[in-house]
């Protein structure tokens, strides 16, 4: 699933949006379009599993839903990563 959250740069405190794919690894590597600082975001703390229960049947497979803050904070990527 693709979403477009707002990110808060860890270096210049500017807010920028980016379309990201939430399938697979929840760690995103980003670059601030204002100061060009490389930063990362771990979406795992914002991920919640949703299970649908049908009457008279077994639980359906779970799916992930992200509950993100208005501006997702980023962390600076160390040199060489």
Question: For the segment 14-56, what is each residue's pLDDT rounded down to a tens digit?
Answer: 999 999 988 877 799 999 999 999 999 999 898 877 777 767 6
Range of the domain at 18: 2-76
pLDDT above 90 (res 6) = yes
pLDDT above 60 (res 59) = no
Asked if residue 49 is part of any domain, the answer here is yes
Task: Determine how β-strand 20-21 pairs with β-strand 2-3.
Answer: antiparallel
Question: Looking at the DSSP assignment, which residues form a beta bridge with residue 31?
Answer: 38
Asked if residue 38 is part of any domain, the answer here is yes
- pTM given for the model: 0.78
User: Distances in Å between the alpha carbon of 45 and those of 8, 14, 71?
Assistant: 16, 22, 14
Confidence of residue 81 (pLDDT cuts 50, 70, 90): low
**Angstrom distance (rounded) from CA 56 to CA 59:** 10
pLDDT of the residue at 22: 82
Asked if residue 81 is part of any domain, the answer here is no
Asked if residue 63 is part of any domain, the answer here is yes
pLDDT of the residue at 79: 73
């Amino acid at each position: 699933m693709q979403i477009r959250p707002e990110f808060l740069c860890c270096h210049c405190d500017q807010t920028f949006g980016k379309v990201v794919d939430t399938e697979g690894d929840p760690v995103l590597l980003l670059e601030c379009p204002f100061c060009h600082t490389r930063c990362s975001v771990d979406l795992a703390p914002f991920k919640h599993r949703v299970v649908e229960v049908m009457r008279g049947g077994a639980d359906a497979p779970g799916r992930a839903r992200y509950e993100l803050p208005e501006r997702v904070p980023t962390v600076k990527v160390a040199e060489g990563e």
